[in-house]
Amino acid sequence: MRVYNFSAGPAMIPDEVMQIAQSEFTDYKSSGSGIMELSHRGALFTEVIKRAESNIRELMNISDDYAICFVQGGAWMQFGMVPMNLLNGGSADYVDTGVWASAAIKEAARYGTVNVIASSKETKYDRIPEIRHWKPTEGAKYLHITSNNTIYGTQYHEFPPVVKGVPMVSDMSSDIMSRVINVNDFGLIYAGLQKNLGPSGMAMVIVRKDLVKDEELPKWVPSMLRYNTYIEKENLFNTPPTFAIYMLALVTDWLKKQGGLKVVENINNTKSEAIYEILNQSSFYTSPVQPSARSRMNVVFRLPTEELEAKFVKESNAAGMTGLKGHRSAGGIRASIYNAVPLKGVEKLVDFMIDFEKKNS
pLDDT at 360: 97
SS3 state of residue 107 = helix
Distance separating alpha carbons of residues 271 and 266, to the nearest angstrom: 9
- CA 216 distance to own-chain centroid: 29
Which residue among 93, 171, 254, 271 is the active-site one?
A: 171
Q: Quick one: pLDDT at residue 154?
A: 98
Residues 268 and 350 grouped into a single domain: yes
pLDDT-flagged residues of the chain (< 70)? none
State residue 150's pLDDT score: 96
Identify the pLDDT of residue 319.
Answer: 97
User: So what's the pLDDT on residue 214?
Assistant: 81
Q: Are residues 180 and 309 in the same domain?
A: no
Does the annotation count 220 as an active-site position? no
pLDDT computed for residue 300 by the predictor: 98
Last residue of a domain, one of 258, 292, 311: 258
- Say which of 195, 254, 271, 325 is annotated catalytic: 195
Assign residue 352 the CATH number of its domain.
3.90.1150.10
For the entire predicted model, the pTM comes to: 0.97
pLDDT of residue 215: 81
Contact 150, 336 (CB under 8 A): yes
**Residues 230 and 354 reside in one and the same domain:** no
For residues 211 and 170, the answer to whether their CB atoms sit within 8 Å is no
Range of the domain at 237: 15-258
Residue 341: strand, helix, or coil: coil
Residue 121 and residue 228 in one domain? yes
Specify the number of domains making up the chain.
2
Q: Is residue 289 part of a domain?
A: yes
222 and 266 part of one domain: no
Q: Which of 96, 100, 175, 254 is catalytic?
A: 100
Active site residue 100: yes
- 233 and 265 housed in the same domain: no
Domain end residue (candidates: 258, 292, 327): 258
Q: Please report the pLDDT score of residue 2 as a whole number.
A: 87
Active-site residue flag, 195: yes
Give the CATH number, domain containing residue 206: 3.40.640.10
Query: What pLDDT score does 254 carry?
Result: 98
- Predicted local distance difference test score (pLDDT) of residue 210: 95
